[in-house]
């Protein structure tokens, strides 16, 4: 996986290369368990060409041609991140239940422009669950939730939809309502 990201109008740029491997084991006709691992190599950099620093200010205003002296901003080291997850799935003809846990930044990679060893990415833990059912007469239901923990920040979301299957032959049409 190759990923590029820009923030703050392109002033902060990130590039990532990830490699993943996973294995899924059918426990029986209805139960599947999976495990996956991912390693990521990343690099962040700041576009100094479009930034103005205080030491570039002079009697005539800002002089962007004057050297800023902010060379540390070019020296963020490459970082490595290790991630892993476990997934469980139970499926029957009309129902499916999934749940899992994922761990990101397991090695607490350093992500500092100033090589500050205290500036490390915190372990991120994500729990998720989904349930889908189509047992009622032309009615479908899908519900899901996610809970994310990283350092002192938590995130929780839950949602679901109900669908009415209005398909006719090969023309599949489903009307969904939910949040």
Please report the pLDDT score of residue 48 as a whole number: 67
Torsion sign across C-alpha atoms 35, 41, 46, 49: negative
Which residues lie closer than 8 Å to 140 by C-beta, 6 or more apart?
132, 133, 134, 162, 163, 164, 165, 174, 176
For 58-97, write each residue's pLDDT tens digit: 777 777 677 666 666 666 778 899 999 999 999 998 899 9
For 120-171, write each residue's pLDDT tens digit: 888 999 999 999 998 777 889 999 999 999 988 999 999 999 998 887 777 7
């Amino acid at each position: 996986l190759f990923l590029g990201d820009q923030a703050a109008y392109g002033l902060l740029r990130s590039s990532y290369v990830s490699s993943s491997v996973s294995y899924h084991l059918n426990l029986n006709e209805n139960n599947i368990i999976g495990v996956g691992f991912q390693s990521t190599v990343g690099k962040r950099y700041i576009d100094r060409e479009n930034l103005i620093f205080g030491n570039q200010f002079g009697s005539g205003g800002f002089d962007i041609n004057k050297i800023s002296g902010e060379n540390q901003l070019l020296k963020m080291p490459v970082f490595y991140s290790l991630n892993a997850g476990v997934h469980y799935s139970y499926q029957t003809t009309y129902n499916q239940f999934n749940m899992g846990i994922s761990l990101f930044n397991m090695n607490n990679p350093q992500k500092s422009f100033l090589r500050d060893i205290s500036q490390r990415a915190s372990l991120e833990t994500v729990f998720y669950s989904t349930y889908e059912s189509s047992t009622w007469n032309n009615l479908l239901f899908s519900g899901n939730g996610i809970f994310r923990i990283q350092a002192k920040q938590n995130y929780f979301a839950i949602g679901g939809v109900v669908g009415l299957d209005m398909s006719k032959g090969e023309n599949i049409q489903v009307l969904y309502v939910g949040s």
